[in-house]
């Protein structure tokens, strides 16, 4: 069959079985948006060797999203260039099955991604020509956890909607553009603070070491003073508790 484009959106599709599209070897564009995909077998896209565009926006249920990496790992998708995964409430990027793809456009807008970890960024770097869309995600803007992600945003130029990324948390940084939250001087200040605290700690340890004899003598004096005081209390207690001493006093 010579079908080049197939649109199956808004069809309440819940499952894609193995080799579901094997009869469409020339298919270039597949639209599966706005369904309720809960089951996606590893061979779901088998036979789509000419597929260039795959649209899965607003269609993946939780179970379907977990099966997506396996379904995308098929060698049949070696020519896939555009992948739309927007609006699927994804918390993580399903990158484990992308190594066989030839992606140039990855759309991840309107999901639940809080940040990108080192593993995700390394995967992105494997695609030389890829453009990534990340807007409308609830990014967590904590500079200590954001440095690698921030460096990637500023240096890779792979994120095409960089200027629209905004913080969702913490509350005091909500709706602030992400690029304005952790600027290089802010990140450097954390490094400087760490160096200063380390130097203070080293100086403190050196002072303790150089005065170790005096400190030991001071502790011994305190211990002797405490011992003398306890002996006085003990002696007074023995006098007060002896009834013979009480009769003599009368």
- Strand ranges in 125-249 using DSSP code E only, listed in sequence order: 131-133, 139-140, 167-169
Structure tokens, 221: 């004096």
The answer to whether 84 and 55 have CB atoms below 8 angstroms apart is yes
Quote the DSSP letter at residue 106.
Answer: E
- CB atoms under 10 Å from CB of 60, counted, come to 25
pLDDT confidence tier of residue 201, bands split at 50, 70 and 90 = confident
The answer to whether 47 and 75 have CB atoms below 8 angstroms apart is no
Number of DSSP helices (H) and strands (E) in the chain, helices first: 6, 10
pLDDT confidence tier of residue 86, bands split at 50, 70 and 90 = very high
DSSP 3-state assignment of 217?
A: helix
Cα torsion angle, 57, 168, 160, 120, sign: negative
> What is the four-CA torsion angle of 107, 131, 135, 73, rounded to 10 degrees?
40
pLDDT the model gives residue 112: 94
pLDDT the model gives residue 240: 59
**pLDDT surpassing 90 at residue 7:** yes
**pLDDT surpassing 80 at residue 178:** yes
Token pair 């890829």 is found at 130
Q: What is the DSSP string of 100-147?
A: T---SEEE--SS------HHHHHHHHT-TT-EEE--S--EE--HHHHH
Which residues neighbour 119 within 8 Å (Cβ) at sequence distance 6 or greater? Answer: 95
Maximum C-alpha span of the chain: 123
Mean pLDDT of the chain: 84
Cα torsion angle, 113, 117, 121, 124, sign: negative
pLDDT the model gives residue 30: 97
Quote the percentage of the chain above a pLDDT of 70.
85
| pTM for the structure as a whole | 0.71
Of residues 78 and 123, more confidence is placed in 78
Structure tokens, 126: 């494997």
């Amino acid at each position: 069959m010579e079908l080049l484009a197939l649109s199956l959106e808004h069809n309440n599709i819940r499952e894609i079985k193995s080799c579901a599209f094997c009869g469409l070897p020339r298919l270039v564009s597949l639209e599966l948006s706005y369904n309720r995909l809960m089951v996606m077998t590893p061979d779901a896209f088998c036979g789509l060797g000419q597929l260039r565009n795959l649209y899965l926006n607003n269609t993946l249920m939780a179970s379907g999203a977990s099966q997506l990496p396996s379904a995308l790992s098929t060698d049949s998708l070696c020519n896939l260039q555009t992948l739309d995964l927007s609006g699927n409430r994804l918390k993580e990027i399903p990158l484990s099955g992308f190594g066989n793809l030839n992606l140039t456009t990855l759309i991840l807008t309107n999901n639940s991604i809080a940040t990108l970890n080192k593993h995700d960024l390394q995967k992105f770097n494997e695609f030389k020509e890829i453009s990534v869309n990340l807007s409308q995600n609830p990014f967590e803007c904590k500079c200590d956890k954001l440095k690698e992600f921030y460096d990637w945003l500023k240096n890779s130029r792979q994120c095409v909607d960089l200027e629209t990324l905004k913080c969702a948390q913490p509350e005091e940084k909500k709706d602030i553009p992400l690029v304005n939250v952790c600027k290089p001087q802010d990140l450097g200040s954390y490094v400087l603070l760490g160096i200063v605290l380390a130097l203070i700690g080293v100086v403190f340890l050196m002072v303790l070491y150089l005065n170790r004899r005096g400190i030991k003598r001071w502790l011994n004096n305190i211990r002797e003073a405490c011992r003398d005081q306890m002996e006085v209390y003990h002696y007074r207690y023995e006098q007060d508790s002896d009834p013979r001493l009480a009769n003599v006093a009368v």
